[in-house]
């Protein structure tokens, strides 16, 4: 279990990227959802011991992460948002090199590890291919393969499906779901559907603060009877924003579909609609920004 207490990080320019973050992350898939610039990557880098916070505490099982980062690194698998590799090296050779760096010194053990990971991530058939020739999805699966070296018990993946096509996204998410059965996996993303598909527990971060957390199903249930929708012409949008708490808009057939949150019928011809995790996300952000 990962426990984060009162974690704050202020950059030298005064930007408060994390503001008293408190989270408990159990074994399994955990979604950290938030817009770009919300503090997700700062939080992930801090947990991964790549930067020290201004204040706060992080524990993983019996490891004090901030005091003993080396011990945490031995049980950590990390796929950052910007994952760089040597592009002209084959997938097999690169994994073999990374296994050496992670302490798998025995050649037989290393061979078994590399071959198992290439098969697990469905990269065996391209093991001799230079990583420069990989598709985006193949690169992400390679990134997971390197993160799994050493059988980590904490795995962090930061924005892993951004830019993937639907087929590669599904393949990657299925791989994460399989991995997340036995270890702590934190999925940091701004894609609501990824969290909805995979995670039995989640949190929403905005402006460096945790503004919502819980089980996705319970959070959706909490919106029952509170989400309303209407299709309007785009020039009407500002007027509706002035009268209602509009949480999301999207274009459909040349018109604008809006969702508002209200405890009772807001009038104006709105119809009740069953909320989903996207409505939870947008309503939580809207309420936070309204109160800020």
Q: What are the pLDDT digits (tens) for 253-272?
A: 889 999 999 999 999 999 99
Q: What are the pLDDT digits (tens) for 244-257?
A: 999 999 999 889 99
Q: What pLDDT is attached to residue 86?
A: 65
Q: What pLDDT is attached to residue 88?
A: 85
Pairing of strands 76-79, 63-64: unpaired
Between the alpha carbon of residue 33 and those of residues 77, 90, 187, 229, 287, the distances in Å are 20, 34, 8, 24, 16
Q: What pLDDT is attached to residue 20?
A: 96
Residue ranges in the chain whose pLDDT is less than 70: 83-86
Q: What pLDDT is attached to residue 215?
A: 95
**pTM of the prediction?**
0.89
Q: What pLDDT is attached to residue 85?
A: 63
Q: What pLDDT is attached to residue 8?
A: 97
Q: What pLDDT is attached to residue 84?
A: 67
């Amino acid at each position: 279990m990962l426990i984060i207490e009162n974690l704050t990080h202020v950059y030298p320019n005064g930007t408060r990227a994390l503001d008293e973050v408190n989270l408990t992350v159990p074994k399994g898939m955990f979604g950290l959802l938030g817009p770009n610039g919300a503090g997700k990557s700062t939080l992930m880098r801090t947990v991964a011991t790549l930067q020290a916070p201004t204040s706060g505490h992080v524990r993983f099982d019996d490891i004090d992460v901030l005091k003993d980062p080396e011990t945490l690194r031995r049980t950590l698998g990390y796929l950052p948002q910007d994952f760089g590799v040597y592009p002209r090296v084959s997938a097999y050779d690169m994994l073999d090199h990374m296994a050496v760096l992670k302490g798998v010194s025995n050649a037989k053990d290393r061979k078994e590890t590399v071959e198992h990971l290439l098969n697990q991530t469905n990269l065996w058939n391209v093991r001799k291919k230079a990583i420069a020739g990989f598709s985006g999805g193949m690169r992400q699966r390679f990134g997971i393969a390197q993160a799994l070296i050493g059988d980590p018990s904490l795995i962090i993946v930061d924005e892993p499906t951004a830019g993937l096509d639907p087929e590669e996204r599904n393949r990657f998410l299925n791989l994460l779901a399989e991995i997340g059965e036995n270890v702590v996996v934190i999925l940091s993303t701004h894609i609501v559907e990824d969290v909805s598909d995979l995670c039995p527990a989640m949190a929403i971060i905005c402006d460096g603060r945790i503004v919502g957390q819980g089980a996705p199903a319970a959070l959706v249930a909490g919106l029952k009877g509170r989400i309303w929708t209407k299709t309007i012409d785009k020039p009407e949008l500002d007027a509706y924003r002035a009268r209602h708490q509009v949480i999301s808009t999207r274009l459909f057939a040349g018109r604008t579909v809006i969702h508002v949150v209200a405890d009772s019928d807001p009038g104006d011809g709105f119809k009740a609609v069953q909320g989903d995790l996207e409505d939870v996300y947008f309503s939580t952000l809207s309420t936070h920004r309204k109160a800020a």
